[in-house]
Structure 1
Amino acid sequence: MDFQLAEEQRDLTKLVHDWVESEAPKEWARELEKAEHDYPFALWDKLTAAGFHGIGIAEEYGGQGGDILTQMTLARGLARSLAGLTWIWGITSFAGGKSIGLYGSEEQKQRFLPEIAAGRSRWSIGFTEPSGGTDLLGMMRTTAVRGDGGWILNGQKTWCSAAHVADNILLLALTDKDAPKRHQGVTLFALPARTEGVTIREIPKLGMRAMGSCDVYLDDVFVPDELVLGEPNRAWYMLLPTLNNERIMLSSFCLGILDGVLEDALAYLQVREAFGHKIGEFQALQHHVANIAMWRTQTELVVQKAAWLQSQGLPCGQEANMAKVIASEHAVNAADLGIQILGGMGYSAETDMQRYWRDARLFRIGPITNEMARNTIAEGLGLPRSF
């Protein structure tokens, strides 16, 4: 097997590395985090100037093209420095670029994709509900009923990343309460975030503080028919392929975090002195950094396999779930060891280890918990459904 990226992806790796060092270094990411309720518009603008919002969007709609392997390469390179703030690019890329590109009508593609590629449109996702969590469909309470020329939405969504600055929200609602199965009867909307009846509140949280996560309240919100994506009541069938994409992208963020953790740990081990020696000479700490390096290599292999399968149009659900679990747990464990290696400085907001840990910790929970992902993996191996 050939584990090498294509030449264009290797070129992109270097381009992103150099761009990050120049435009979004770690010390700047720490400054963005300090202003925890201030969305980093400056970062969005830098991503726009670099053309990154166009990656993954077809050239005919103003983008630069690129498959999941290209997106994975970009995600990894950005996350080495930005960690969870990479979602500043990723949420719009997934919610707008990927979703509209896959199941939007031609009119919707012409309307939305050029704006996303040019960095003039930000998107959020409205899937999760306060009572549901991972039980997305079984506990869905947000409804959409037919109105004159459109739909009227009522309910609440939560953990909508950057909804407070979004132009549109990719929103899932129940449109057929009598559907025989819970995965039937849901519809996807491209909801303009400033529509009358929409109220948005930021949620205080542990990590990714500058990005903002929000509750979205819907009170008789009207959405016209032209903003329904795909066929009403069949949204879940459309969404399933994109969920694999989201998990591979998240795994790529974790891989970038592992890059950053290993980089910082090695740098500290080679300069910090104790008991008359560089601490990199101490066997216990060498074992810590060796574990981090092995976790990174394991993560790289499973993420690249899942991304390659998807790029070839092959089934990748099992591999995407495995990559998500392995990558998120390795990233959290590596950042925790990184804090241990740096000692008190690892706990300090003046270094990045604590930021890597805080951001990576979410990835064990969302967009699907690792426990639920394990259930799905086991079911894929022939065991009975456990939920």
Structure 2
Amino acid sequence: MSSAFLSEEDRLFRDTVRSWVDAEIPKDWCRELEREEDVFPHAFWDKLSAFGAHGIGIPEEYGGQGGSIVTQVLFARELARTAAGVGWVWGVTSFSGGKGILGAGSEAQKQRFLPEIAAGRLKTAMAFTEAGGGTDLLGGMKTTATRVDGGWRLNGEKIWSTGAGVADYLFLMARSDKDVKRRADGVSLFFVPRDAEGVTVSSMPKLGMRCISSCSVHLDDVFVPDELLLGEAGKGWGYSTGTLNNERLVNAAFCLGMLDGVLEDAVDHLQTRRAFGHLIGEFQALQHYVADIAMWQKQGELVLLDGAALQSAGEPCANASNMAKVLCSEYAGQAADLGIQILGGMGYSAETDMQRYWRDARLLRIGPISNEMAKNMIAEGLGLPRSF
């Protein structure tokens, strides 16, 4: 990453993270972890805990390391350079736990949960998406929360709850009031213990990020006490939208980190592989591929840093964060595909990382919001009418 747009403190943090990642999170180790489908990489989590990674973005008064969105995207990018999708071991709890509690939690909830998250003693997962909704969270939401004495009863089902298989708590959205004028009203957020009676979690096999299970979560009359309602009942959608820019920028940083890894591996291969009596790095077509990847990298970096700087300064950044999410996810996929082409058969082999970048990057064009929906929002931000 160019140092021209970073403060001295940010540069020092980036360099420290890069050295730690190279020493503790090498690509070959991550590749082996990823082979074990639905086997949570506890050793990876423990390394993150020892480094203090779970406290990044959590204020120091709650036991965290502090840091702005710039700090978060710098860390996510460096981690994804070697870990690719395995890096979401950090990202899921960082967002669903850390940002969820910070954005919607009471002071008592912050004091209770944030130090545990920052220390790596508590894992969380997000449970928003439903089978009939996808990106249309509100239109497809069937999960209900019914008021009862001392709390709420939850019924319904969530899907694509990444990390739910090992989470201690689920950051969950449910409809608590159907008699509303706007569908964005009457939605509440809960911090649901995964081991609560009536919660059933089942793994969903998938293309990439294999060692971090993505799950369906069935809720059968699950009791959640009032103390685990986050924020005011019925206003959960407003709390959640306050975290969207952060989520999209971190998503973009993960994509950019994967692109970094692709470029590293492609250049290394071109400088060592020989064919027809020459290093294949001498071949013009392959040089063009690498030049394209490098240009995508630079474009993604600039738009990501722009969005992060705007958010850090408290400036409007919705369009910038959507642009970063779209551009970086599209470029990561294109770069990984070219990377496979550069490596040839070995790029398709599970013995190298190129196929891992390709598989893991593919999801990030869909979630947490599809690129098509993000483009709709960009157009709306330029004054065009709402299209959904």
| Paired residues for 1:202-241 under 5 Å | 202-241=203-242
Structure 2: how far apart are the matches of 1:113 and 1:369? 30
1:46-100 Cα shifts (integer Å, max 9, x gaps): 1001111111111111111001000111000100000111110111111111121
Structure 1: how far apart are the matches of 2:38 and 2:103? 33
The residue type equivalent to 1:277 in the other structure is H
The residue type equivalent to 1:336 in the other structure is D
The structural deviation recorded for 1:27 is: 0.1
Where does residue 381 of structure 2 map in the other structure?
380
Where does residue 130 of structure 1 map in the other structure?
131
Where does residue 8 of structure 1 map in the other structure?
9
Structure 2: how far apart are the matches of 1:125 and 1:38? 19
The structural deviation recorded for 1:3 is: 4.3
Give the structure-1-normalised TM-score.
0.99
The residue type equivalent to 1:67 in the other structure is S
Q: Is the 8 A contact 2:103 2:242 kept in 1?
A: no
Does 1:70 pair with 2:71? yes
Where does residue 144 of structure 1 map in the other structure?
145
Where does residue 325 of structure 1 map in the other structure?
326
1:190-225 Cα shifts (integer Å, max 9, x gaps): 111110000000000000000110000000000001
| Paired residues for 1:13-32 under 5 Å | 13-32=14-33
The residue type equivalent to 1:214 in the other structure is C
Root-mean-square deviation (CA, aligned residues, Å) is: 0.9
Structure 2: how far apart are the matches of 1:314 and 1:240? 16
The residue type equivalent to 2:203 in the other structure is E
The structural deviation recorded for 1:11 is: 1.1
The structural deviation recorded for 1:103 is: 2.2
Structure 2's unaligned 5+ residue stretches are none
| Paired residues for 1:257-268 under 5 Å | 257-268=258-269
Select between 235-244 and 142-151 the one with higher mean Cα deviation.
235-244
Q: Secondary structure at the match of 2:172?
A: strand
The structural deviation recorded for 1:346 is: 0.2
Q: Is the 8 A contact 2:103 2:240 kept in 1?
A: no
Where does residue 99 of structure 2 map in the other structure?
98
Give the structure-2-normalised TM-score.
0.98
Structure 1: how far apart are the matches of 2:35 and 2:386? 44
Structure 1's unaligned 5+ residue stretches are none
Where does residue 200 of structure 1 map in the other structure?
201
Where does residue 155 of structure 1 map in the other structure?
156
Where does residue 359 of structure 1 map in the other structure?
360
Structure 1: how far apart are the matches of 2:207 and 2:100? 28
| Paired residues for 1:80-99 under 5 Å | 80-99=81-100
Where does residue 284 of structure 2 map in the other structure?
283
Equivalent pairs counted in the alignment come to 386
Does 1:164 pair with 2:165? yes
Does 1:345 pair with 2:384? no
TM superposition outliers: structure 1 runs of 4+ over 4 Å: none
Structure 2: how far apart are the matches of 1:241 and 1:299? 23
Q: Label 1:28 to 1:223 Cα distance change in 2 as closer, same or farther (>3 A).
A: same
Q: Secondary structure at the match of 1:297?
A: helix
Structure 2: how far apart are the matches of 1:3 and 1:177? 51
Q: Secondary structure at the match of 1:270?
A: helix
Where does residue 173 of structure 1 map in the other structure?
174
Structure 2: how far apart are the matches of 1:189 and 1:385? 30
Structure 2: how far apart are the matches of 1:367 and 1:37? 21
Q: Secondary structure at the match of 1:47?
A: helix
Q: Secondary structure at the match of 1:368?
A: coil
The structural deviation recorded for 1:17 is: 1.2
Q: Secondary structure at the match of 2:61?
A: helix
Q: Secondary structure at the match of 2:192?
A: strand
Q: Secondary structure at the match of 1:129?
A: coil
Structure 1: how far apart are the matches of 2:8 and 2:216? 42
Q: Is the 8 A contact 2:138 2:183 kept in 1?
A: yes
Where does residue 61 of structure 2 map in the other structure?
60
